[in-house]
Amino acid sequence: MNDKASHDDLIRAIQKLLSESFHGLLSTHSVKFPGYPFGSLLPICLDSKGNPHILISHLAQHTQNLDANPHCSLMLYETGQEDVQQLARLTCLAKAEPIHSPSVAERYFRYYPESRRYHKELNFIFYRLTIEQFYFIGGFGSARWFDVSRITPPTPLSAADESELLYQLNTHKQAPLKHYLSQQGVSTTAASIEAIGANLLGVDVRLDHHLQHIHFQQPLSDVRDFIQQLDQA
């Protein structure tokens, strides 16, 4: 494999792992014990630029840590039964900032409906993690730094385009969507199947309470391409 092909494969692997991760290990600088990192396992939801958003309590240790020092890291990892050193891992060095955006909140609630109560009743706060560097381990003995500018995100969908696509998938294209999922090896025996997010690299679905990302074999050029794929499947 030549260097260009190897580089492109690594980029695609990073994009795939980032897209299919719904939780990660957030490490912050401890205020209580200076000099020590503090780890928290948290659900995440990406924005159109690939930056994760988290919803956290103002009382939590990690929130206090971020307010004192916004520099943090988020570790994402491939799941599997084999040796963990053979699995892909991605460390995202980021800077956290609180964000107040109705569109970010509504997208997050589509992924985690139960979190709406935390935000409304318990005053949980949204933070955006703006990624600055990636450290990707593709398996044992394979590790490399990537500047965030080198991980080109897919052309983002507008909120209107994503909403229209999700409406079509969940209203008029439920049967074709289930057929497509089964072709991708996804069990469709869940009582509830709902498309909750999409970009030109893939679509996210909720199968009852389980979240799953379906990565397209080839990036799409337009959301209408996916509807056509469903109709032709």
pTM over 0.85: yes
Both ends of the chain: CA-CA distance in Å? 33
Identify the residue with better confidence: 52 or 4.
52
Closest by CA position to 148, among listed 93, 225, 228: 93
Predicted confidence (pLDDT) at residue 2 exceeds the cutoff of 60: no
pLDDT in tens, 30-67: 999 999 999 999 999 998 788 999 999 999 999 999 99
pLDDT value at residue 5? 47
- pLDDT average, residue stretch 8-26: 91
Predicted confidence (pLDDT) at residue 153 exceeds the cutoff of 70: no
- pLDDT average, residue stretch 199-228: 85
Asked whether the beta carbons of 26 and 45 are under 8 A apart, the reply is: no
- pLDDT average, residue stretch 70-84: 88
- pLDDT average, residue stretch 144-170: 83
Predicted confidence (pLDDT) at residue 81 exceeds the cutoff of 70: no
Average model confidence (pLDDT) across the chain: 89
Predicted confidence (pLDDT) at residue 1 exceeds the cutoff of 60: no
- pLDDT average, residue stretch 4-31: 88
- pLDDT average, residue stretch 214-224: 79
